[in-house]
Structure 1
Amino acid sequence: MSRPALLVLDMVNELVHPDGHYSHVCQEQVASRGVIDRARVAIDRARLAGVPVIFVVLGYSDHYEDWPSGSILFGPPDPERRFTLGSWGTRVHDELAPQLGEDVVVKQRISPFHGTNLELLLRARKIDTLLLAGVATDLVVLLTALEAHDLGFAVEVLEDTTATASERVQDAALLLAARTAVISSVDRSLPLAGQDIA
């Protein structure tokens, strides 16, 4: 019998809240796809089923020296340092907020495994299956699916809890993720008690 965990990836205010400085990256798709509502359902169902929920957030130290300034994706540090750990921007969206005792893993790169204790947490709990929710689909979700596969985890991408810059990029990212993961949904991977799995 599988032992799943739900990973909620980069659902922080700067990226998914309408007031987030970087929300333009995927806000249109987050809104049109109802991603926050679907992620809320996934989190609620996971908790009811006793499935661990682990949040992964992007965050940097006050001095910002851990920002990857040479990266094409990240670019030069934001002068406002909106991703300083503990700031509003790095907090999980209020509708998805972690409960007391749930793990929040802080990362400084795209990958949730790079330089973090995520794998140790998963191994300690004997987790063998990862259910992925988050943004952006073509970045953290896709890379997590690839890396988790190579680490020996089964992976299911809950596609209705993911979004990126456009429908075209979303479809391409899911097509690539399907090489190493099952493309699923909240209802298929986290059905309500007594609900048939589609």
Structure 2
Amino acid sequence: MPNRALLVMDVQRDIVDLADDGSGYLARLRRAIDGARAAGMPVIYVVVELRPDDQEVSPRNRPLTAAARAGLFREGDPGTEIHPDVAPHPGDVTVTKRRGSAFSGSDLDLVLRARGIQELVLTGIATSGVVLHTACRANDLDLGLTVLADACLDTDPEVHRVLIEKLFPQWADVVSVEEWLQPAWQDGHQ
């Protein structure tokens, strides 16, 4: 699977604290990460961080302005660290973004091109935030997409359901972590 990568997006301490619903999300995500590594698939972490002076925060961007006002996502703050239950291993790439999409204000596209990656497997928090924004951009870039439905999480379960059941299947294969880990599925999608 050299042309695929697993993206673990915005699974940072503060975000997990806000969104974790007690459903075992981090354990499922850990299984996906371990499965990707076992298959030799690169795992790329994406984090959102804002400079302390808010230079990149436009007042026209409502979600980002609200996050900045709440003091969230500040570079160097402990809350911006990747959650320790799914922390990167040596050699994993971590990309820092400044907006909703993993591509916005980051070098993700460069990392993907340098590694010849043409397909992405998306995970992260929130389904209606980074997962949606990244899926839109990846679709526009003609990248193949898989969304791991239960390795995505949103604070609004109904919005998550609509995106997973209605929108994402138009652009991507949408499967559970357990389905994705099955050899038959992997063999049929290489």
Q: Please report the TM-score for the alignment, with normalisation by the length of structure 2.
A: 0.89
Pair 1:61 & 2:59 matched: no
CA contact 1:142–1:176 (8 Å) conserved in 2: no
Q: Which moved more, 1:140-149 or 1:5-14?
A: 140-149
Match for residue 46 of structure 1?
36
- Structure 1 residues 44-123: aligned runs within 5 Å: 44-76=34-66, 78=68, 81-123=71-113
Pair 1:27 & 2:20 matched: yes
The Cα of 1:79 is off from its aligned counterpart by: 5.2
Match for residue 197 of structure 1?
185
The Cα of 1:180 is off from its aligned counterpart by: 1.1
Alpha carbons of structure 1 residues 123 and 97: separation in structure 2 relative to 1, 3 Å:
same
Give the fraction of aligned pairs with identical amino acids, expressed as a percent: 36
CA contact 1:68–1:109 (8 Å) conserved in 2: no
Aligned AA (1:197)? W
Q: Distance in 1 between matches of 2:70 and 2:62?
A: 19
Q: Which moved more, 1:53-62 or 1:165-174?
A: 165-174
CA RMSD of aligned residues (A): 1.9
How many residues align? The count is: 185
Match for residue 20 of structure 1?
none
Match for residue 15 of structure 1?
15
Match for residue 181 of structure 1?
172
CA contact 1:107–1:114 (8 Å) conserved in 2: yes
SS in 2 for 1:178: helix
Q: Distance in 1 between matches of 2:50 and 2:108?
A: 17
Unaligned runs of 5+ in 1: 18-22
Match for residue 145 of structure 1?
135
The Cα of 1:37 is off from its aligned counterpart by: 0.6
Q: Distance in 2 between matches of 1:77 and 1:49?
A: 36
CA contact 1:13–1:91 (8 Å) conserved in 2: yes
Q: Distance in 2 between matches of 1:80 and 1:183?
A: 33
SS in 1 for 2:102: coil
Write the deviation string for residues 152-195 of structure 1: whole angstroms up to 9, x where unpaired.
1100000010111232111112121222111112223233xxx4
CA contact 1:2–1:128 (8 Å) conserved in 2: no
CA contact 2:7–2:46 (8 Å) conserved in 1: yes
